[in-house]
Amino acid sequence: MQNILSRLSVWKVIAILILASGAVAAYVRVTQGLGASTNMNDSFPWGLWIGFDVLCGVGLAAGGFTVAAIVYIFNIKRFEPIVRPTILTAFMGYLLVIVGLMFDLGRPFQIWHAIIMWNPRSVMFEVAWCVMLYTTVLALEFSPVVLEKFKMKKTMHVIHKVSVPLIIIGVLLSTLHQSSLGSLFLIVPEKLHGLWYSPYLPVFFYVSAIAVGCAMVIFESFLSSRAFKKGLEMNLLTEIGRVSVVMLAIYTTMKIVDLLDRHALSLLFQPTPETYFYWLEISVGVLLPMVLLSIRKIREHQTGLFASATMMIIGFILNRMNVSITGMEGWAGKSYFPSWMELAITASIVTAGFITFYYAAKYLPIYNHEQHEPAKKELHPYVEDLLSVSQQAN
């Protein structure tokens, strides 16, 4: 017991330290501007906040739409128990994006301009709209959890009535958003290194996001099973592991075809830093987990599954950083590494996300909604369905 307590407080101390340094960094950012707080400059106008907070935040949220589609569009109801935690995870991902953007934008309080000043030729315009709309959809998708907690049945019925169109809109928006982050880089054919620049960037971003969405579901399930001392839906997670193998295989094939198409295969074997980073990304994030997860024993083993998912996530983050930073360094002729303040702010947002997730999961019916079961008769069939499935799962 003592042991657990002291371990808990270690995490608390770390969290407090991160948040405190983030607060200092935020103060400098707000009072002295981007130059004083970041290592960005005219050669490197985009740094960690775009590369990690925005590109990875959106990507790591991809589990939300994937699982929602599996359960509500494909009607594979046995995955229902993981819907709520994944949507919450997605929410946290978008939180990272929005808060990150508020720090990154030079004039954050004019962000609403994108609503009235249109430029449909801009990918960034599409991105802005996707962020706004999909965050709204996520909030609506998540609302039954809150409504259930406060027993607001009438509103719940309304949400339920529109749930299928809502999920469809969510899937479409996510598709656009994930791919548009890749499209952002289509405009820099001469700047982005040939290992990453491809006319198929939007497709790569989309497919890799689905794969990492699966990995996030596994990752998040393991963490919360430890935090809340609850069991693991190993059979479901194993299946998700299988889906991610398929996605990784599709991704690898497309990557190879693309390199062949562009006659860029030789780039793989040039002794440049870009090549090393590329191989690191591909081997850690794609090849290794693909091989590991295709072995049944590993897939069905807790540690094996968790380790593979973690590798996919690391590889994914590497990929987004490579596209937005490593791949641009050659052209810029300069290198970029984030300042401690950039790191502190990003780490703080991530920490805040973890804390929010923890408390949401603790006080809202995320994992165990049968506890909040209202009187039977008044239940809508949808809710009943939800409850019965979750009871079976428990």
Write out the residues near another protein by the rule CB under 8 A.
30-36, 40-43, 45-46, 69, 72-75, 104-108, 110-111, 113-114, 117-128, 164, 168, 171-172, 175-176, 179, 183-184, 186-191, 199, 202
- Those residues with Cβ within 8 angstroms of residue 214's Cβ, 6 or more apart along the chain or in another chain: 63, 66, 240, 241, 243, 244, 247, 309, 312
Orientation of helix 123-149 relative to helix 163-183, angle to 10°: 150
Contact yes or no for 378/68 (Cβ under 8 A): no
Contact yes or no for 294/304 (Cβ under 8 A): no
**C-beta of 200 vs 367, nearer to another protein:** 200
Return the structure tokens found at 12.
């608390």
CB of 377 to another protein, least distance (A): 20
CB of 110 to another protein, least distance (A): 5
- Those residues with Cβ within 8 angstroms of residue 32's Cβ, 6 or more apart along the chain or in another chain: none
**C-beta of 193 vs 299, nearer to another protein:** 193
CB of 361 to another protein, least distance (A): 28
**C-beta of 69 vs 88, nearer to another protein:** 69
**142-177 per-residue burial string, b: 16 or more CB within 10 A, e: under 16:** bbbbebbeeeebeebeebbeebeebbebbbebbbbb
CB of 92 to another protein, least distance (A): 23
**C-beta of 203 vs 211, nearer to another protein:** 203
β-sheet bridge partners, residue 41? 44
* List of E strands, 161-273: none
Q: Distance between terminal CA atoms of the chain? A: 26
CB of 36 to another protein, least distance (A): 7
CB of 282 to another protein, least distance (A): 24
**C-beta of 189 vs 374, nearer to another protein:** 189
**C-beta of 10 vs 30, nearer to another protein:** 30
Orientation of helix 340-363 relative to helix 83-104, angle to 10°: 150
Distance of CA 230 to the CA centre of its chain: 23
**C-beta of 164 vs 291, nearer to another protein:** 164
CB of 127 to another protein, least distance (A): 8
d(CA 28, CA 26): 5
**C-beta of 191 vs 362, nearer to another protein:** 191
**C-beta of 5 vs 117, nearer to another protein:** 117
Contact yes or no for 299/241 (Cβ under 8 A): yes
**C-beta of 1 vs 117, nearer to another protein:** 117
CB of 67 to another protein, least distance (A): 15
Distance of CA 326 to the CA centre of its chain: 21
CB of 113 to another protein, least distance (A): 5
Q: How buried is residue 280: exposed, middle or buried, by Cβ count under 10 Å (0-12/13-18/19+)?
A: middle
CB of 13 to another protein, least distance (A): 33
Radius of gyration of the chain (CA): 21
* Other residues' Cβ atoms within 10 Å of the Cβ of residue 102: 17
β-sheet bridge partners, residue 44? 41
d(CA 49, CA 98): 11
Read off the DSSP letter of residue 162: T
CB of 158 to another protein, least distance (A): 19
**C-beta of 18 vs 96, nearer to another protein:** 96
